[in-house]
Structure 1
Amino acid sequence: MTKKPLSDNERLKAQSNFLRGSIHDDLSDPMTGGFNGDNFQLIRFHGMYQQDNRDIRAERVKQKLEPLHSVMLRIRLPGGIISPKQWLGIDEFAGQRTEYGSIRVTNRQAVQLHGVLKHNIKPVHQLLNQLGLDAKATAGDVNRNVLCTSNPIESELHQQAYEWAKKISEHLLPKTNAYAEIWLDGEKVQQPESEPILGERYLPRKFKTAIVIPPQNDVDIHANDLNFVAIEEAGKLIGFNVLVGGGLAMTHGDTSTYPRLASEFGFISLEHVLAVAEAVVSVQRDWGDRSNRRNAKTKYTLDRVGVATFKAEVEQRAHCQFAPIQPYEFTSRGDRIGWIAGIDGKQHLTLFIPSGRLIDQPGLMRKTGMAKIAAIHKGDFRLTPNQNIIVAGVASEDREAITAIALEHGLIDKALTPQQQDAMACVSFPTCPLAMAEAERLLPELVQHLDDMLASNQLAHESIIFRVTGCPNGCGRAMLAEVGLVGRAQGRYDLYLGGNRQGTRIPRLYQSNERIEDILSTLEGLISRWSQDRNSEEGFGDYVVRTNIVTPVLNSSLDFYQTDARP
């Protein structure tokens, strides 16, 4: 049998000298604001993507200038917890030394800084180090930032789960000294290096891990390669159900790519967590497709070799056996906006941050407001997988002052609707190089249309899990929405229907390459039907499946692309 040639990414990783490449030399190259050759890809392993402002790209070409290169830098925050001191340090840098002046909270509980010019890249890494943070492995073919349900209610259980998120993140990090050498002026390692878990070529593709605390599925476990579902007894964490092989990305026109729900492997006790995490990663490392990057994710490895075979290999490598899955149930995915009392009596304020974007604008000084809160807050901040921020562990004497700051700076919106809370979009234009259509900038307009439709049908108290992504790569998690829009070109999207509120069903394609105006017209008619014919408390996604508007996706590798019969 002829062995398939490796993709070029495999070559560059193997030749990178454990992720060093010639990044150090590129930093001092005054001829370009970007990175050359392999370094364009290698900086991703250090938490950065090279981007440019696509709104002004054509004008710069006319002026015979290269694109305005900068990097988007993503800060690693396992479980999404950050201290007020750390926040203030990031806030100052974002305001003074980035092109956009914003902070963006991601749906993977990280912080992104957009528009960091080359001469500011090393300073920001050094700042993060001083703050006790880093950008290691937040991009590239490695295990990314580990998610953990934010859960401000059951504080003791959340703390236990969060500690495991940190342990898993640290255990699976690259061991190379390249990050310290390049960005922190660390001493160069003289002895040969090795990557005992990730290998010299690292993973075939990116790898995502999450911890979820039922009944809240805020991490969208089916979007992740590896998932740990917390199982507790009497408020104490006793172990995890393990699910493997979730993922949402696909490629337009390539039916060998598809979204996939994660498969249940079984239950493990706490002493096996790190061994199982390492085993799943190492099996994917060894068995994943290194020839075709479109089919290199864990979900395709499972479908190619079979779930039972993959699971057995994990058990062998981890030296443990999976027990039967413990019962668990998801009931919701959203955050509890506003003030909430935890079972320990502590107060928590969840702030709604539209698309996770904190920026100062006339009348809406949200970024300044967060900095003012950070200046007096004695607890910590928790970034949620829904792109919101929890001001956690608020001292009773600070509650009134924090509320006043939040109201003054637009961080508390008394007119906030349920639909606004249940909508999400990826960044897309102007910075994402993969964007085909608008997402974040279009979302407020689309949500207003949905709010109007719901109100006109006496459903203003209701909402639809609605997500927009500017391309099919899955960052906006549209493939777990009740209504998902996936960009094809400017102003044109694929419309997917039929996910559920719990995040356990993939939606089906309903209309392809349609104009926004036509999609809104379609949704208006469907929402009207939902308002008249729904069962009690029936969600929109369940309604369109029950009434055969779309058929449910039962096995995405087999029937995701089947043409749906329409009534």
Structure 2
Amino acid sequence: MNAVEIVKRESRYLRGHIKEELQNDAPKFSEESVQILKFHGVYQQDDRDLRPKLKKEGKDRHWMMMVRARIPGGVLTPEQYLTFDRLADRYSDYGTLRLTDRQTIQLHGVVKSHLKATIRSIHEALLTTLGACGDLVRNIVCCPAPGDDPYRAELREDMLALADRLGARTNAPYEIWLDGEPVELPELQPEEPLYKEAYLPRKFKIALTPEGDNCVDVYANDVGLVAHLDDGRRHVVGYTILIGGGMGRAAHDGHTYPRVASPFAYVPRERLVDVVTAIVTVYRDYGHRGENRRLGRMKYLVEEKGIPWFREAVEHRIGYRLAEPRRLVWETSEDHLGWQREEDGLSGLGLFIPSGRIQDTEAVRLKSALRDIVREFRPSIRLTAQQNIILSGIRDEHRPDVEKRLREAGVPLPAELSTVRKNAMACVALPTCGLAVAEAERILPDVVAAFERLFEELGLSEEAITIRISGCPNGCSRPYVGEIAFVGRTLGKYEVYLGGDRFGTVLSERFREMVPLNELVASVRPVLEAYVRERGPGEGFGAFVRRVGLARFQSVEPRPS
């Protein structure tokens, strides 16, 4: 059993000593509390840009917290969004909001003395941070496309039912952050009937989407749920379940690897929650809790035991046989950007948010523009799994006014952006992520600009080729299912991955290692040039790479772009 497992078991259902440590003047928490805080949506970090200066001055690091909310499906009311906007101004060192690729919001740079007030405010907005991080079911993502088709409401109903069934039950958040009184439970009633005292071996990710639209990268999840519609495409009749996906790997641990989820079973809609719950409990009971925590993700259990064993284990718990998974057909994986009809008189506007960072700069006053639009026009907010935002429920007569506000703030509309820019994504990385070994978010604009020039030169400007950058091999930006991906290995150097599917259904292949930042685009150029010359009709870049293989390009010297 690893050390974190011991901490979880001794935490008294995620209480630990957090409440006591909040009352002292230390700028950081103990290591034990750091582990438990993750379950409360909090990562202890420091500003890594300041480390050299502070070390030279003989000072400790500038400790601060990242606070992440749990927002099932990424849907917020106007007031809830404005709460995060105010919290960023009041308590974040950076004054920004960071949209994640799991449809939630992170606040970076919250010092310890402001942590309780920040989380209390999130709770007062009828949201929570419990389950945004930690070894349990994380924020469940769901295709955010607006519209009045009944199946979209049914998808959300099923997602919320899963979030309710699989959510943690501990009273710890109310005691720690809201000064609530401990609740006395009946003697035989467990505080965590699903998770028990040890919770899960590692984090657990779930995504839902209708067949044909993989905007959420459903194959990158522990459980992917693909909705099948009736013949009239109005109602959800059931789901094909995929299991065992996950992006994380460690550069120096050959036992770790990314994996796309495998087809598992088909279930009618009314049985979905029970079957997914059974999958979670099988993982809870059989997942790896040994010394190497990297092997704790469910993908390794699926790989070790196999799909037949996993099906039998789930069937034993639910008491009936599962149907075979259905064949899936995909049409798109692009995000829902631009104006979209929702219902008569109402529209939604999907806006591209560079790396999910909502901020004001001298050139683009994005944060202020969104705040003003939400205050005046009262749209609901839909966060996407590609770090973007949809302003939903805007009256059609207000569309020109909304566009005017955005233009005045320097915010481009999606139609004004290149295809490559809209299909690029990066994780946070430096300076706040403690796991980052290289830049990601901060280099994305320059990398994208270089690809824009290259794509224009090669006649590929309209090709929807996905580009991902990750600051470390953990792969939070889901690089291993991107068509072009750069994964940080050390400061200024990256691995290059090519050949993921444009629909996010297959893994990419490592092409080069330790490529300097200024040679990343050039390293891909020979493959893109061959793609232009040799591609088949309708063949995507990733499909071309898998067809011809990368071996022929290994000896080709990159040319500057």
TM-score range with shorter-chain normalisation?
A: over 0.9
Structure 1 position 220 matched with structure 2 position 212:
no
Q: 1:308 to 1:522 in 2, by over 3 A?
A: same
Give the conservation status (yes or no) of the 8 Å contact 2:340–2:347. yes
Structure 1 residue 399, shift from structure 2 partner? 1.7
Q: Aligned equivalents of 1:280 and 1:203: distance in 2?
A: 12
Aligned pairs for 1:359-370 (under 5 A) are 359-370=359-370
1:491 maps to 492
1:117 corresponds to 2:117 = no
Once residues 404 and 550 of structure 1 are traced to their aligned partners in structure 2, the CA distance between those partners, rounded to angstroms, is: 51
Match of 1:298 in 2: 298
- The answer as to whether partners of 1:353 and 1:411 remain within 8 angstroms in 2 is no
Q: Which residue of 2 aligns with 1:40?
A: 34
Shift of 1:566: 7.1
Aligned-pair distance for 1:339? 1.0
Residue 506 of structure 1 deviates from its aligned partner by: 0.1
How far does the alpha carbon of each residue in 1:31-90 deviate from its partner, in whole angstroms, 9 at most, with x for none? Answer: x21111300111000011001100001211222222111111111111110111111111
C-alpha distance in 1 between matches for 2:515 and 2:128: 42
Counterparts of 1:165-244 in structure 2, within 5 Å, are: 165-191=159-185, 193-233=190-230, 234=232, 235-244=234-243
**1:446 corresponding residue in structure 2:** 447
Which residue is 2:4 aligned to? 9
Secondary structure in 2 aligned to 1:364?
coil
In the alignment of these two chains, the number of paired residues is 549
1:19 to 14, 20, 42: 14
Structure 2 counterpart of 1:405, which letter? R
**Do 1:70 and 1:115's aligned partners in 2 also have CA atoms closer than 8 Å?**
yes
1:469 aligns with 2:457: no
1:91 matched to 2:80: no
Q: Helix, strand or coil for the counterpart of 2:31?
A: coil
Partner of 1:556 in structure 2? none
Deviation at 1:492?
0.5
Q: In terms of mean alpha carbon deviation, does 216-225 or 137-146 score higher? A: 216-225
Farther-moved stretch of structure 1 (261-270 vs 406-415): 406-415
Distance 1:317 1:410, change over 3 A: farther
* Greater shift in the superposed pair: 521-530 or 241-250: 521-530
Note the C-alpha offset of 1:565.
Answer: 8.1
Residue 334 of structure 1: aligned partner? 334
Counterpart pick for 2:122 among 125, 128, 131: 128
Which stretch has the larger CA shift, 104-113 or 233-242?
A: 233-242
1:180-217 deviation line (CA, Å, top 9, x unaligned): 11001111123464321112111000000111112110
Deviations 1:150-194 (A, max 9, x none): 122464222210121111112111111001110011111234643
Letter in 2 for 1:106: T
Matching residue of 1:412: 412
Post-superposition offset of 1:330: 1.4
Q: Deviations over 1:297-332 (max 9, x none)?
A: 100001112211111111221233322223431122
* Residue 397 of structure 1, CA deviation: 2.9
How much has 1:99 moved relative to structure 2?
0.3
Contact 1:499 1:506 in 2 (8 A): yes
Q: Which residue of 1 aligns with 2:392?
A: 392
3-state secondary structure, aligned to 1:361? coil
CA deviation after TM superposition for structure 1 residue 448, in Å: 0.7
Residue-by-residue CA offset, 1:501-538 (whole Å, 9 max, x unaligned): 01011001110112123332221222222122222232
In the alignment, the residues of structure 1 paired with residue 346 and residue 240 of structure 2 have an alpha-carbon distance, to the nearest angstrom, of: 29
Q: Does 1:152 align with 2:146?
A: yes
Q: Distance in 1 between matches of 2:260 and 2:76?
A: 30
Aligned partner of 1:422 in structure 2 is 423
- Bigger Cα displacement from structure 2, 58-67 vs 235-244: 58-67
Amino acid at match of 1:158: R
- 4+ runs of 1 displaced by more than 4 Å? 564-567
Shift of 1:398: 2.1
Match of 2:250 in 1: 251
Deviations 1:385-435 (A, max 9, x none): 111111112112322221211222233345410000010000000000000
1-structure distance, mates of 2:355, 2:117: 27
Q: Unpaired segments of 5 or more residues in structure 1?
A: 1-5, 552-563
For 2:498, the aligned partner's letter is L
Does the 8 Å CA contact 2:205/2:221 hold for their aligned counterparts?
yes
2:345·2:396 contact (CA, 8 Å) conserved in 1? no
Partner of 1:265: 264
Alignment-mate amino acid for residue 508 of structure 2: P
Q: What are the Cα deviations for residues 196-254 of structure 1, in whole angstroms up to 9, with x where unaligned?
A: 11121110000001111121101111111011111111211112111111011111022
TM-score computed with the length of structure 2 as normaliser: 0.95
SS of equivalent to 2:274: helix
Q: Do the aligned residues in 2 keep the contact of 1:378 with 1:395 (CA within 8 Å)?
A: no
What fraction of aligned residue pairs are identical, expressed as a percent? 36
1:523-562 matches, cutoff 5 A: 523-549=524-550
Contact 1:497–1:550, Cα closer than 8 Å, also in 2: no
Tell me, in whole angstroms, the C-alpha distance in 2 between the residues paired with 1:131 and 1:331.
37
Q: Which runs of 5+ in 2 are unaligned?
A: 557-561
Letter in 1 for 2:101: N
User: What residue in structure 2 maps to residue 558 of structure 1?
Assistant: none
TM-score of the superposition, structure 1-length normalised? 0.94
| Counterpart Cα distance in 2 of 1:290 and 1:304 | 14
- Counterpart of 1:33 in 2: which secondary structure? coil
CA distance in 1, matches of 2:369, 2:406: 6
Whole-angstrom CA distance in 2 between matches of 1:373 and 1:518: 41
What is the SS of the residue equivalent to 1:19? Answer: coil
CA distance in 1, matches of 2:167, 2:521: 44
Which residue type is aligned with residue 84 of structure 1?
P
Give the Cα–Cα distance (whole angstroms) in 2 for the partners of residues 378 and 95 of structure 1. 20
Deviations for 1:82-118, whole angstroms, at most 9, x for unmatched residues? 1111111110111122100000111100011111111
Aligned equivalents of 1:276, 1:426: Cα separation in 2: 32
